[in-house]
Amino acid sequence: MDLATIIGFTCAFLLVIFGISLPNLAAFIDPPSLFIAIGGAVSATVAAFPANKLINSIGVVKNAFFVKKSTPVDIIKQLVSFAEQARREGILALEARALEVKDEFLKTGIQLAVDGTEPELIKDILSTDIAFTELRHEEGAKIFDFLAAMGPSFGMIGTLIGLVLMLGNMTDVESIGPNMAVALITTFYGSLLANAVCLPIVEKLKGYSRREILIKELMLEGIMSLQSGDNPRIVEQKLTAFLEPGLRAAVMKEKGK
């Protein structure tokens, strides 16, 4: 898991608790408010998405936070080495190496190329795969985006309930303040759910998706180059254009060694 993420989430919550200050913490724990604000927001989200997407979204989040994927630089080096071997020994020589490839997308692509599938068809199949991967990622992000919108909304619904109950019975002047405090807690929970939990997750998922798609596009470009028997130097040049200048140096440096 990205260290920045752990630090970010931890700090956000510690700072909020620090703002409340420990002795007052009890005033901010109110189960009924929790049920309306968080429970209501989660329920509306459950109603809005099919069950399998909801379950998938947990997997997507887990992937985005925990799985260590190969970097673009690794992929480029691997593809350039494939291009060198294909140049020397013919594309069929890649058949054995394809079996070692762990990434499903890259393996399928190389096998298609080795099988002599037409380039148009390879591009078609792999592009469709990329398009739908993107779609699935967007759907994962959408679930947390929806939850982020529902949080403050159900928070406000809870606050309205609290206010109506309080205003309907103002005989006990003493209790007005504390009742209003309780009414505001649902909005507090809803805001926290949205801003300290869901929106950072949405951003994280989008960044993770962009990275995944970038890597798949890199692989697609590389596979098409392998298929058409491009010069390894050209393959490298084509693929490093995907990288930021800093990483490009990394590819070159390693090669120079």
Please list every residue from 113 through 152 that binds its own copies, using CB under 8 A: 117, 121, 124-126, 128-129, 132, 135-136, 139, 142, 146, 149-150
From 46-54, 73-81, 82-90, 91-99, span contacting its own copies (CB under 8 A): 46-54
Regarding 170 and contact with its own copies (CB under 8 A), the answer is yes
Helix axes 119-168, 40-48, angle to 10 degrees: 150
Q: Which residues of 78-107 are buried (b: 16+ CB within 10 A; e: fewer)?
A: bbbebbebbbeeebeebeebbeebebebbb
Closest CB to its own copies among residues 89, 175: 175
Site string for its own copies, 53-92 (x = CB under 8 A): xx-x------------------------------------
Residue 46 within binding range of its own copies, rule CB under 8 A: yes
Report the candidate in 148, 141, 145 with the shortest Cα–Cα distance to residue 56: 141
User: Does 19 engage in binding with its own copies (CB under 8 A)?
Assistant: yes
Nearest approach in angstroms of CB 162 to its own copies is 8
Of the candidates 134, 132, 133, 108, which has an alpha carbon nearest to the alpha carbon of residue 121? 108
Instruction: Please work out the total of residues on this chain that contact its own copies, with binding judged by CB under 8 A.
Output: 99
Block residue for tokens 């692989």: 219
Q: Considering only residues 62, 178, 229, 255, which one is a binding residue for its own copies as defined by CB under 8 A?
A: 178
Q: How far is CA 257 from the centre of its chain?
A: 35
Residues 202-221 close enough to bind its own copies by CB under 8 A: 202-204, 207, 210
Q: For residues 229 and 87, is the Cβ–Cβ distance under 8 A?
A: yes
What letter represents residue 16's amino acid?
V
